[in-house]
Amino acid sequence: MTLKNYDQARRFTAYVSTLGTTQLHMRNPYVIMFWSAMFPGFGHLLLSKYLRGFLLFVWEVVVNIQGHINLAIMYTFLGDFDMVKNVLDLQWTLLYIPTFFFAIWDSYRTTVDLNNQYLLSAREDAAVKPFKMDAIEINYLDKKSPWSSVLWSFLMPGLGQVAIHRIIPAFFILVWMIVIFYYSNLLPAIHSTFLGHFEQGKKLLNAQWFLNIPSVYFFTIYDAYVNTVESNKLFDWEQAKFLKRNYQSSSFRMPSIKNKGSEIMYVISTFRHSISLEKAITAIEMKGILKENILAVPMDKRAEQQRLFDTMNQSDGLSLFDLSFILGSFLALMGGIYGFVLHWGPLLWGLIGLAVGFVLGLVIRLVINKKHTRDRASQRNAEVVVIVECPDHQLESVKDLLWAHDALGVRKLDIDPI
């Protein structure tokens, strides 16, 4: 199917605006359900359904606080059922239950629907505008390190979203993390805990507000990681389409090994998808080499085998680290709960739960799906082959430009065209 212009498309795979990049991609419905169960609204935020996600998030905070739901959960796991009865507010709890299950159900249903929309948009193969600029902001597709986003989110939730230009969720997360940190007394408790005053750290924490933190904190890390990975994939896809449209001219003369000694030279190089690749090609054109004498061939990547979910045949969209984040956030919550009765306190036990869950999830994924990790490793190799036809006197300058723009390899062929 031929690539359609932006204005002609019925569905888009992605939309780049000044406030962020919204895109469709395959998602695992059960992963989205899990995050909705951990905190209503999170599943919808992962789907970029911001209005619905923000509404459910605010609802969760207000009703949970009024009904003392987190306190009841804590005392339930600690086995103190009399305290559960004492702390629960019946009216708020009965109000809480229907919307909680709606958030889980709706996130699953919406994931299945959006997976179908993604399949149709991918088949339509519409172009994506990779650059947006207006009076207040600039946004563009680029490649970033997922672990850089994780690190910034770990230091302060919301910064990972800022780093990948998801301005709307970043603002929402930053504001609410300030509120939750303040009312939970988290920072004074951290200070006391790391000074070794564990009992004082427990007393400083407001358990009702604190038990929101494991879910919210680790969701922001997961969200930043996943969206960075998917944004990088979108960059590769868009750049591959650009190269096919502009640097695969039918008039390009492929090299022949029959005759040698001509003044026509060919330089072959390999690249990964990056902005440096486009800079290299445009720099070569500025040397006077015509676009028709440059051939860029994006390589197809080995398709990963994905198992199918439910009757609608949705591929799982499960990454190597999904299970790690899921188990890490859950065990961090459990560590926070039991930390109120254990010596080191909820902060340290929460971090221990995080580490154990993350490593356990990673080990399980590596054991279950070794092929997946092999495929990921293979994708770190060359992704684009570039062939440049040039006169002999420009050969060295072309090679130097390719090397200067991060080519993985460069080789000349001093042979005649057919």
Q: From CA 36, how far away is CA 32, in angstroms rounded?
A: 6
Q: From CA 322, how far away is CA 226, in angstroms rounded?
A: 9
- The pLDDT confidence band at residue 338, using thresholds 50, 70 and 90, is confident
Please list, in sequence order, all residues whose beta carbon lies within 8 angstroms of the beta carbon of residue 226, skipping any fewer than 6 positions away. Answer: 46, 319
Q: From CA 398, how far away is CA 276, in angstroms rounded?
A: 15
Q: What is the crossing angle of helices 90-124 and 29-38, to 10°?
A: 150
Residue 53: what pLDDT? 95
Q: What is the DSSP letter of 413?
A: E
Per DSSP bridges, beta strands 131-133 and 308-309 are unpaired
Flag the least confident range among 140-144, 284-288, 291-295, 321-325: 321-325
Helix (H) or strand (E) holding 325: helix 322-338
Mean pLDDT of 330-346: 84
Query: In this model, does residue 302 exceed pLDDT 70?
Result: no
Flag the least confident range among 49-53, 97-101, 124-128, 217-221: 124-128
Flag the least confident range among 96-100, 171-175, 227-231, 346-350: 346-350
Query: In this model, does residue 107 exceed pLDDT 70?
Result: yes
Q: From CA 264, how far away is CA 395, in angstroms rounded?
A: 9
Helix (H) or strand (E) holding 314: strand 314-315
**What are the tokens at 354?**
């995080």
Query: In this model, does residue 379 exceed pLDDT 80?
Result: no
Query: In this model, does residue 306 exceed pLDDT 60?
Result: no
Contact 272, 408 (CB under 8 A): yes
Flag the least confident range among 46-55, 273-282, 362-371: 362-371
Quote the distance between the C-alpha of residue 298 and its chain's center. 23
Compute CA distances 112 → 117, 226, 272, 324, 355, whole Å.
9, 18, 32, 23, 31
Q: From CA 145, how far away is CA 169, in angstroms rounded?
A: 19
Length of the chain: 418
